Structures are given as structure tokens and as C-alpha cells.
Amino acid sequence: MEACSRRPGTPGVGKTMLGQELASRSGLKYINVGDLTREGQLYDGYDEEYDCPILDEDRVVDDLENQMNEGGVIVDYHGCDFFPECWFHTIFVLKTDNTVLYKRLETRGYNEKKLNDNIQCEIFQVLYQEVLSSCKEEIVHQLPSDKPEDLEDNIDQILKWIEQWVKDHSS
Ligand code: DAT
């Protein structure tokens, strides 16, 4: 079960697939915030309307803090406004065509309300707007995530970004 679709981001756009593949090719550590909250039961109640547990944001931040301070981490989540901004050197927001996304979420067995809310969320670019309002615009990048070739292009682009970052920060 996913926590929690009251949050504005869109599931099914390909964050997990991209994050895991990127970690295996870059050697960086992949952290899936959804898995972390499930394993640690970092919840603060249950949302009946959306049929999902509500994330305890403070406990998630506490849980991640040490690893984030060490660095070299890819964080996968469908929101970011409760994370300290200084944690991230770059943020990639995936964007998926609504018809493609509808099929992906249908396969996951989402109920009608959850499905429509999430598609609306993608139509209105809710997560992208949230990221722009809570982080520096120059670190935010939007990438297409409709087809396998997009995945390959995104990985290549992010690997280049990592390589450049390492060059710029090695003394
Ligand atoms: P998220 O982690 O954002 O919820 P996911 O990585 O689990 O999404 O992907 C959802 C589904 O879409 C899964 O079946 C894999 C597929 N998918 C992801 N990225 C894709 C891409 N670029 N092309 C085709 N299918 C993709």
C-alpha cells in the first residue's frame, strides 16, 4: 500500500524504475521513501477517503537525516516540500502523458477516485509546481517518462550530470 495519495505527486510516472537503474549504473545509494515508511511504520493515522496511511513527515526526515548528511543518495518520492532544501543538489520531476499514466495506474488496481485524483494531479502538474515553490528553480529539471527510450535518455542525462558534479566538487 502506498502512503499517501493525499500528497500532491503522481505515482506511476517511473520514479522507482529510474531510481533503481540509476543507482546500479552510478554506484549511488537508492532510497525509496515509500518502502522506508512501510518498513519503519512511519505513519500518523489513516486516510479513509483515499484508503491509505498518512505519512509522519517529521519521523521520515529524522530517519533519513544521517544518510543524507553522508551524501551519495538518490531519493525516490512523490513530494519534497517537507524535506530540508539543502539535502538536494538536483531534483528530477518525471512527466508522463495522461493516457499512458492512466493505463499504468489501472494496472495497479487503484480505485476510481484515487485514479482520477492522480491523473488530475498530473494534468495540473501539481508536483512540479510544489517543487518549484519549495526549492531553487535552477536545481529542478522535468523529464519525459512515457516510453523505454525516455528511460534510457534520462539515465544518460543524469549520469552526465553526476559526472560533472563530481568533477566540479573534486579538489
Ligand atoms: P513510480 O515509482 O513513479 O510509482 P514505477 O517506476 O513503479 O513508477 O513505474 C510504473 C510502471 O511504469 C511500471 O510498470 C514500469 C513502467 N514504466 C516506468 N517508466 C517507464 C518508461 N519510461 N517507459 C515505459 N514504462 C515505464
Residue owning the nearest CA to atom 9 of ligand 1: 14
The residue ranking higher by pLDDT, 81 or 9, is 81
Please state, in angstroms and rounded to a whole number, the distance separating the CA atoms of residues 111 and 131. 27
Residue to mutate, 15, 104, 118, 146, ligand 1, most ligand atoms under 8 Å from C-beta:
104
Q: Is the pLDDT of residue 85 over 80?
A: yes
pLDDT band per the 50, 70, 90 thresholds, residue 3: very low
CA within 13 Å, CB half, 167: 6
Residue owning the nearest CA to atom 18 of ligand 1: 14
The residue ranking higher by pLDDT, 94 or 126, is 94
Ligand 1 neighbours (beta carbon < 6 A): 11-17, 104, 145, 147-148, 150-151
**pTM of the predicted model as reported, rounded to 2 decimal places:** 0.90
From residue 34, alpha-carbon distances to 1, 31, 40, 147 in Å are 9, 9, 10, 24
Rg (CA), the chain: 16
Beta strands in the chain (DSSP E): 29-32, 43-47, 52-55, 73-76, 91-95, 140-144
Residue owning the nearest CA to atom 5 of ligand 1: 14
Provide the sign of the torsion angle of the four alpha carbons 147, 148, 154, 156, taken in this order. negative
What single DSSP character describes residue 111? -
> What region, left, alpha or beta, does residue 112 occupy, with left being phi > 0 and alpha being psi -120 to 50 degrees?
alpha
Which atom of ligand 1 sits closest to the CA of residue 145?
22
The predicted pLDDT at position 20 comes to: 97
- Residues forming beta bridges with residue 47, ordered by sequence position: 52
Residue owning the nearest CA to atom 14 of ligand 1: 104
**Lookup: cell for 131:** 517543487
